[in-house]
Structure 1
Amino acid sequence: MRVLVTGATGFVGSNLVDALVDTDHEVTVLTRDRDRYDGPDAVRVVEGNVLEPGSFDDALDVDAAFYLIHSMGAGGDYAERDRRAARNFSEAASAAGVERVIYLGGLGTDRDDLSPHLRSRREVERILGLGDYDLTVLRAAIIIGSGSISFQLIRQLAGRLPVMITPKWVHTECQPIAIRDVIGYLVGVLERPETAGETYEIGGPEVLTYAEILKTTRRHLGSKLRIIPVPVLTPRLSSWWIRFVTDVDPAVARPLIDGVKNSVVVTDTRIQDLIPRDRLSFEAAVAEALQGEPTSPATTKGRIGRLLRGQ
């Protein structure tokens, strides 16, 4: 199948490109700078920017497209940029006759008071849904793997602070998922026509609190972590002190930390019947991520077939 991957230089996109190439799809990648793209030789590289209508039309002569673009971290109003990017892509893909678009969004219940980050993800989902193609949506929480900004934040917090004074969000529930399982589901819905037009929730096999996530990660780093919850410390306040503890871009860290007030747990398990997988446990996903393999793009090639089968 002829497939376009947007956001191909990102954490999920780069892993997905390798998987699609390994499963014999004809892959086109869209990048803002052709000279800086360092992916597989087998892909077709098109230079363009979804914020500039008309600049990426040459990439749309495909059957299906993965939309993995996110402006968070670029400074300014990321929600407005994501809104414009999604609208431009939806209109261009519709005009080009793209049959399917697959979008990776965020977990979270619409009836909850979603964080600005999760509201933006849901808004992008709604805008993409206006197109003349069949949209498939996968919603995920934290993705665990080498190269994940969310996991980088967790790793640095767990690794650099033997004692953490945290807000009550440490008791919020989350259902993290390994990158290998995210890729397996993305490729899986592409290859199953019956998933067109559907929305699915994806997660790992365990529901954990953020305290459990931090403590488990710390244990894999070789020591224990003591957490002291403080009710008056809000997610917004904690996002400010995180900039002094980690080297994650504050423009990225703040929206992610603001989102921890929302429980992000799978409530719709239909995809487990459609695409059965022996999902990686959180313990195993952390160990794999800390080793830097096979979750990094440079080491997945040649092994991605086994990952997709959950082996």
Structure 2
Amino acid sequence: MTKTVLVTGASGFIGSHLARALADEGYDVRAMTRHPGRYDGSGTPVRGDVFDQDSLGEALDGTDAAYYLVHSLDSDDFEEKDAEAARTFAAAAADAGLERIVYLGGLGDDDGELSPHLRSRRAVERILREGPVPVTALRAAVVIGDGGISWEITRQLVDRLPALLTPRWVRTRTQPIALPDVIRYLVGVLEPVEARGKVYEIGGPEVLRYIDMLTRAAKVQGDHLANVTVPLLTPRLSSSWLVLVTDVDFTTARNLVDSLSTEVVVRDHSIEDVVPGPTIGYDEAVRLALRDHAA
């Protein structure tokens, strides 16, 4: 029997690609959005708001599983908002008797000093897991794909600057992952029984510093990007610099910059037991993202 799956944030960066992939796999996809009349992606649009439990009840009625992909990174009080939304969704999912929730959160060591952004991602994961519905959580770092905020910052910096004056956080190590691999993992953990209630770390094949990501993205496009690191460039000044050079708003920039000083590297590779297969390298991920942007 065909499973009915709800995708929250279906009009967003990850959600839009996931809805298409699930539909291609034969799932009955419900694409949740606050404005279903504007939705033109895969699946059947349904109205739902993560802060409105009644609307969630209607969206979840008759569904077997749900993907939770929403966040409030563009708000100053995003930690409180994200926690409230997670509690509301967990309660609605329990009332609907879902078989499983699949959640995409952020990488970062549990015993490390997490930024407010990553701390919020982990809190949402914990809140969802406190409910009776089994949760499968995937934790990722920067996702390389057209439309992703972190990737758009990288692309625009490379496109718009002949050289970089960068803060110390560009030396932080991270493990970027290509958008197609994120989607493959999200779809791949939906069915396996052994994935119920588990947490998986996902990443591409390379651990890079942010400056490596910038210079290699430039090289893929046939350019050379010079860099001078400025140690006294504070997080607030870094945020203002990003707003000046890119299209990202200040609140989102500040919340992201706070996270860029935290090392996010895959330590646990158990996802390979459930969803095997090679992952896409960084340079190829950049090529795919640039191709999609130009399309």
Q: If the length of structure 2 is used for normalisation, what is the TM-score? A: 0.95
Q: Separation in 2 of the partners of 1:86 and 1:136?
A: 14
Report the counterpart of residue 229 of structure 2 in structure 1. 229
2:85 is the alignment partner of 1:104: no
Q: What's the CA shift for 1:249?
A: 2.0
Residue 10, structure 1, aligned to residue 17, structure 2: no
1:191 Cα deviation from its structure 2 partner: 2.1
Aligned residue identity for 1:256: L
The question of 1:137 aligning with 2:137 is answered yes
Distance 1:233 1:111 in 2: 27
Q: Spell out, residue by residue over 1:214-268, the C-alpha distance to the aligned partner (whole angstroms, 9 max, x if none).
A: 0011122331111111222233321121111111122222211211100010000
Separation in 2 of the partners of 1:48 and 1:174?
Answer: 34
Shift in Å, 1:69: 0.6
| Equivalent position of 2:24 in the other structure | 22
Aligned to 2:39: 37
Q: Which residue of 1 aligns with 2:53?
A: 53
Q: What is aligned with 1:69? A: 70
Partner deviation per Cα, 1:192-233 (whole Å, 9 max, x = no partner): 121000000000000001110000111223311111112222
Q: Deviations over 1:124-166 (max 9, x none)?
A: 1111111111100000000001111110011111221222111
Deviates more, 1:230-239 or 1:4-13: 230-239
Is there any run of 5+ residues in structure 2 with no aligned partner, and where?
none
- Which segments of 5 or more consecutive residues in structure 1 lack a partner in the other structure? 300-311
Partner of 2:192: 192
Secondary structure at the aligned position of 2:54 is classed as coil
- State the identity as a percent: 51
262-271 or 220-229: which moved more? 220-229
- Asked if the contact 1:236–1:258 (Cα under 8 Å) also holds between the matched residues in 2, the reply is no
C-alpha deviation, 1:273, in angstroms:
2.4
Helix, strand or coil at the partner of 2:113:
coil
Letter in 2 for 1:259: S
Higher relative contact order (CA 8 A, sep 6+): 1
Tell me, in whole angstroms, the C-alpha distance in 2 between the residues paired with 1:272 and 1:248.
Answer: 34
**1:5 CA displacement:** 0.4
Q: Are 2:245 and 1:245 equivalent residues in the alignment?
A: yes
Letter in 1 for 2:239: S
Q: Quote the offset at 1:111 in angstroms.
A: 1.8
Deviates more, 1:126-135 or 1:15-24: 126-135
CA distance in 1, matches of 2:226, 2:208: 17
Q: Is the Cα contact below 8 Å between 1:2 and 1:27 reproduced in 2?
A: yes
Does the 8 Å contact 1:206/1:281 carry over to 2? yes
Superposed CA RMSD in Å reads 1.4
C-alpha distance in structure 2 between counterparts of 1:206 and 1:212, whole Å: 11
For the residues of structure 2 that align with 1:97 and 1:246, how far apart are their CA atoms?
43
Matched residue, 1:94: 94
Pick which of 102-111 and 232-241 moved more. Answer: 232-241
